[in-house]
Amino acid sequence: MDINFPLILLILVIISGIVWFLDRLFLSKKRGEDEPTPGWVEYSGSFFPVLLIVFILRSFLYEPFQIPSGSMIPTLEVGDFILVNKYSYGLRLPVTRTKVVSIGQPERGDVMVFFPPNDDRYFIKRVLGLPGDEIKIIDNIVYVNGEEAEQTKPMSVEKDPRFVVASENLSGVNHSIQKSIISGRLGRNFSIKVPNGHYFMVGDNRDNSSDSRVWGPVPEQNIVGKAVAVWMHWESLPSLPSFDRIGKIQ
Active site residues: 71, 125
Cβ 86 vs Cβ 58: under 8 Å: yes
**Interatomic CA distance for residues 215 and 222, integer angstroms:** 14
- Report the 10 Å Cβ neighbour count for 229: 14
Residue type, 194: V
DSSP letter at 79?
Answer: T
**Interatomic CA distance for residues 111 and 62, integer angstroms:** 15
CA 134 to chain centre: 24
Q: Where are the alpha helices (DSSP H) in 90-209?
A: 185-188
Q: Which residues of 29-46 are buried (b: 16+ CB within 10 A; e: fewer)?
A: eeeeeeeeeeeebeebbe
**Interatomic CA distance for residues 89 and 96, integer angstroms:** 16
Distances (CA, A) of 231 to 76, 80, 88, 244: 12, 8, 18, 9
Cβ 16 vs Cβ 51: under 8 Å: yes
The dihedral built from the CA positions of residue 70, 164, 167 and 202, taken in this order, carries a sign that is negative
Instruction: Work out the angle at residue 171's Cα, subtended by the Cα atoms of residues 170 and 177, and round it to the nearest 5 degrees.
Output: 10
